[in-house]
Structure 1
Amino acid sequence: MKEKEKLVIETAIKLFAAKGFASTSIQEIAEEAGISKGAFYLYFKSKDELLYSTLQYYFDIIEKRLSLYEDQKLLPREKFVYQLKELIETLSEHKEFIIMQAREQAIPLNDEVKELLFRMHMESHKFYRDSLLDIYGKQIKPFVWDLSTMLDGIFHSYMKVILVDSDFDSRDIAEYIMKRMDNLAAGLSNDSPLLSEQKVADLLHKTKALFLQGNSTIYTILHAMKKELENMENPTSLNTSLEVLMEEAVKENPRIPVIQGMLSNFKDIPAFEPYRQEIAALYKFNL
């Protein structure tokens, strides 16, 4: 990213947070960034495109801060507490921007923004799921989606409190949430899961269809599949299948039998079933 482009994004975040998206003009952003309006259009075609870039920039900040602990020699629980702490602090530092998104009714949710928000939502759930599996082990695998859903609810409830009153220690909150996860994980061991892998796959498909209203692109779907593969232990053969799918997707006339053949390699893996169904619907064939 060029420095000027970064400057425009950071300026826009500041102005959106202070005035709201609808009340902030391109002229104001350009003046605050110290560039001409014409120079603005060298980087962004519209304010909508700038909004997408500000959201992506914000999510990238979160990803980078969470990744700080990936290569450190920490126990899974300790690493996750640090990551929760970073997440709380990052959200707190940008609370005006978050509050603006919550209260603003005029933010344009075009297809690209919808897809970005949906992808980030799913990636946060996968982050929770993978972290919980690392902490509690395979014995909680049947309940991991229930546990990650509870974690998501608890985290966001406390974030609402923090956005109103920041007089809390981020480390204390992270530790407190983690202890509640211990309680919940222990309690679930004697119960049956509500959210199985298959149920989550079905819900994902229905939610995405409702949220995006059928506007997914093949590139978005393949990107999501790639992210899913990164969470698997031995995805070698599936990586090859995904590469072939990507090669076909960019062709002017994709070969349907090749796509069908590659998708068959993902059969019987619940996490990939929604993607298989979406690709089949896009190319109008039955699995």
Structure 2
Amino acid sequence: MTPKTPEQFEMIRKERKDLLMAAALKLFASKGFATTSIMDIAREAGVSKGLLYNYFESKDELVKEIVLEGIQKITIDIDFDFSIKLDKQRFIQLIDKYFELIEQSKDYWKLYMAVLAQPTVGDLVKGELFMMLEPFFSAVSQYYADKNEKNPLAFAFLLGAILDGVGIDYIFAPEQYPLMEIKEIIIEKLI
């Protein structure tokens, strides 16, 4: 057997970590964060409890990494440069990308939102979550300020809440949800 290179070790480590996070996401969504134990996660992933602790110091650290990775996934999948000022056309592109993302990845987002909606989880990640979303709120707030909205930051948060709600409603009832019609209303009324 040939010795493994550092790159191979890193790849194996990432695969195991992804396996553990996927098992935890599934259990947190189905059983709840509070009632899922480290042993449950290890069993679901087919590894020992000790191995899990080699990757994550605690269940809190594990759920935090799951949530933050989800936000990074959104950022990467949307692939939008918030440092460039939003105009109407770029704003519409951003909305289009968001709707495309939730439509294409419903199963993942269903699990992810079920975990994020749990009160304990929200408390663990709210600071980091806001920091990661700040470029969105800043760009959208500036867009509304340029349109002379009275309270542009509140308007940006309103749009964020609407998009969150649309995402949640759609992933839990995609067959009944008029996703594209709602997207058009958002573009027509809020952009």
User: Which TM-score applies when normalising by structure 2?
Assistant: 0.71
Residues 29 and 112, structure 2, Cα contact 8 Å, conserved in 1: yes
The alignment partner of 2:26 has SS state of: helix
Structure showing greater relative contact order (alpha-carbon pairs closer than 8 Å, 6 or more residues apart):
2
Whole-Å separation in 1 of the counterparts to 2:138 and 2:103: 20
From 177, 182, 186, the counterpart of 1:173 = 182
Pick the aligned partner of 1:148 from 156, 163, 175: 156
Match of 1:41 among 44, 48, 53: 53
Partner letter of residue 4 of structure 1? R
The code of the aligned residue for 1:89 comes to: E
Does the 8 Å CA contact 2:116/2:122 hold for their aligned counterparts?
no
Residue of structure 1 equivalent to 2:112:
97
Question: Counterpart of 2:138?
Answer: 126
Q: Deviations over 1:128-172 (max 9, x none)?
A: 336xx2xx8944477532432332243334345335432335443
The offset of 1:109, in angstroms, is 3.2
**Residue correspondence of structure 1 range 20-169 to structure 2 within 5 A:** 20-67=32-79, 75-89=89-103, 92-93=106-107, 94-102=109-117, 104-107=118-121, 109-110=123-124, 113-129=125-141, 133=143, 138-140=146-148, 144-167=152-175, 168-169=177-178
Contact residue 9 and residue 54 of structure 1 kept, 8 A? yes
How many residues align? The count is 171
* Aligned 8 A contact 1:27 1:37 in 2: yes
Structure 1: how far apart are the matches of 2:155 and 2:123? 30
- Give the structure with higher Rg (CA): 1
AA at the equivalent of 1:101: L
Q: Distance in 1 between matches of 2:145 and 2:127?
A: 32
Aligned pair in 2 of structure 1 residues 90, 122: CA closer, same or farther (>3 Å)?
farther
User: In 1, are the aligned partners of 2:20 and 2:41 still within 8 Å (CA)?
Assistant: yes
Structure 1: 5+ residue runs without aligned partners? 183-287
The percentage of aligned residue pairs carrying the same residue is: 29
**Aligned residues of 1:13 and 1:54 also touching (Cα < 8 A):** yes
Query: Given residue 153 of structure 2, which amino acid in structure 1 is its aligned partner?
Result: W
User: What is the Cα deviation at residue 114 of structure 1?
Assistant: 3.6
* Aligned-residue CA RMSD (Å): 3.2
Q: List alignment gaps of at least 5 residues for structure 2.
A: 1-12, 82-88
Report the AA paired with residue 99 of structure 1: A
